[in-house]
Structure 1
Amino acid sequence: MSEIEGIYVVWLREVKRFLRYKSRILTSIVTPLLWLIIFGTGLGMSVKFTNIPGGYRTFIFPGIIAQTILFTSVFSGVSVVIDRQYGFLKEILVSPISRPSIILGKAFGISTASVIQTVILLALSFLVNIEITLTSFVISVILSFIISMGFGGLGLMIAAITESTEGFNLVMSFIVLPIFLLSGALFPITGLPTWLQRAVYANPLTYGVDALRFIILHRSVFPFWINLCIISLFSISMILIASILFDIKEQNLL
């Protein structure tokens, strides 16, 4: 019971931290909308998607949701670095809660923030003429949670071995953009050159985007169960690796 309570407290702190900064919430919603409206409309004028009602903007809508999940999840891992610098992390470490539970609580908090943003974006789907049913809404929210757990775990994994926020942001900048660009969020992943297709298929976000596109637009490259299995395995792996690295690194704090 103490482990569950500990996970809850860490989760609650992460959620309150997210909700406290209104500008962060606003930015996380305005940025994907700008991508969707400006980039989607501008490129959509030259890229024709006649087989998809609504055209290019409709096509990238699931990818923009995945982008929001990716950026929020990965960069939220910096909270570990900040907590370490201000000494709060040491207080958590001396509490009667295991290191994996700390990571799990933080991952749940990060995923909750991503789910909130996903819900808002889904509510704005009418801007691109997409009709979201209750079933697709619920499944999309569940998918966003699973995807966020994986990339939240990735952010926590990097934060566990990074000493400063500057170092964390530098490492993340070299990781996040390639993951996003190679996910198929902005272009179809079929018909690509072999070398590029291999990179796309090795990217776990590719399967998250494909799963969201199947639920929202009823179009996908891979079967839904394959997408779900891959992103679930990725999420579990990232949380486990983050827990191990966190445990090894933070032993020196006590």
Structure 2
Amino acid sequence: MAELEGIYTIWLRETKRFFRYRSRIVTSVVTPMLWLLIFGTGLGAAVRFGNMPGGYEAFIYPGIIGQTILFTSIFSGLSVIMDRQYGFLKEILVAPISRPSLVMGKALGISTAAVIQATILLILSFIVGVPMTPVVFILCMGIALVMSVGLGGLGLVIAAFTDSMEGFNLIMSFIVLPMFLLSGALFPITGLPSWLQTGVYLNPLTYGVDALRYAILGESALPLGVSIIVISAFAVMMVLVSSLLFSKKEQSLM
């Protein structure tokens, strides 16, 4: 019960922090919509994209949802650095809960923020002419949750190695953009050169975007079961790795 209470308390704090900054919610929704309306419409008008209903805008719609989950989840790792700088992390570390519970509470708080933003984008699916049924909505929520836990864990891993916001942002610039561009969010992953396919299939975001595309559009390059297994394994691995790193890294603060 103490572990569950600790997880709940940390999750609640992260969730309250998210709702406290309302401008962050607005920005995280407006930016993806600009990608859809400007990039999707502009490039969609320049290329012919098969016979998919909705055209190129519909194709990149799941990818933009994946982008939102990626940016929100990983950048939320900044909260660890803020907690460390203001001394709050020391207070958490002396609490009678395990490191995995601490990390799980953080990851669930991060995933809650990401899922809320994904929910808003799913509700706005009519803008790009994509039908949204309750079954599709629930399936997308499950996929988004697993993706956000894994990517949030990745953000915590990076935060465990950095002591400043500047260092965190520098590392992010070398990770987030390549992950997004190599996820198949903006182009099909089939028929690519072999050297590019290697990067695409090593990218965990690829499987999350492909699973979302199957759930929303009924089309995918990979079997849904394979994508679910990969993102689930990635989520478990990131939680375990970040727990191990915090156990070693934060001993110096005690």
Query: Shorter-normalised TM-score: what interval?
Result: over 0.9
Identify the residue that residue 148 of structure 2 maps to in structure 1. 148
Q: Distance in 1 between matches of 2:50 and 2:201?
A: 25
How many residue pairs get matched?
254
**Pairing 1:161-172 to 2, within 5 Å after superposition:** 161-172=161-172
Structure 2 SS opposite 1:191: coil
CA apart distance, 1:5: 0.2
**Pairing 1:42-81 to 2, within 5 Å after superposition:** 42-81=42-81
Identify the residue that residue 182 of structure 2 maps to in structure 1. 182
Percent identity at matched positions? 65
Q: Distance in 1 between matches of 2:47 and 2:229?
A: 32
Q: Distance in 1 between matches of 2:247 and 2:168?
A: 18
CA apart distance, 1:154: 0.3
Matched, 1:215 2:215: yes
Q: Deviations over 1:89-126 (max 9, x none)?
A: 00111111111111100000000001100110000000
Identify the residue that residue 111 of structure 1 maps to in structure 2. 111
CA-atom RMSD, angstroms?
0.6
Is the 1:161–1:246 Cα contact (8 Å) retained in structure 2? Answer: no
Q: Deviations over 1:28-81 (max 9, x none)?
A: 000000000000000001121132001000000000000000000000011101
Is the 1:15–1:112 Cα contact (8 Å) retained in structure 2? Answer: yes
Output the amino acid matched with 2:119. Answer: V
**TM-score, normalising length from structure 1?**
0.99
Q: Distance in 2 between matches of 1:139 and 1:47?
A: 30
Identify the residue that residue 30 of structure 2 maps to in structure 1. 30
Gaps of 5+ in 2: none
Identify the residue that residue 252 of structure 1 maps to in structure 2. 252
Q: Distance in 1 between matches of 2:47 and 2:8?
A: 47
Matched, 1:82 2:82: yes
Q: Distance in 2 between matches of 1:161 and 1:100?
A: 17
Matched, 1:234 2:234: yes
Q: Distance in 2 between matches of 1:67 and 1:181?
A: 9
**TM-score, normalising length from structure 2?**
0.99
Q: List structure 1 segments (4+ residues) > 4 angstroms apart after TM superposition.
A: none
Structure 1 SS opposite 2:107: helix
Identify the residue that residue 11 of structure 2 maps to in structure 1. 11
Is the 1:63–1:185 Cα contact (8 Å) retained in structure 2? Answer: yes
Q: Distance in 2 between matches of 1:251 and 1:41?
A: 51
Q: Distance in 2 between matches of 1:146 and 1:14?
A: 18
Gaps of 5+ in 1: none
Structure 2 SS opposite 1:192: coil
Q: Distance in 2 between matches of 1:71 and 1:168?
A: 13
Q: Distance in 1 between matches of 2:7 and 2:149?
A: 14
Q: Distance in 2 between matches of 1:50 and 1:179?
A: 25
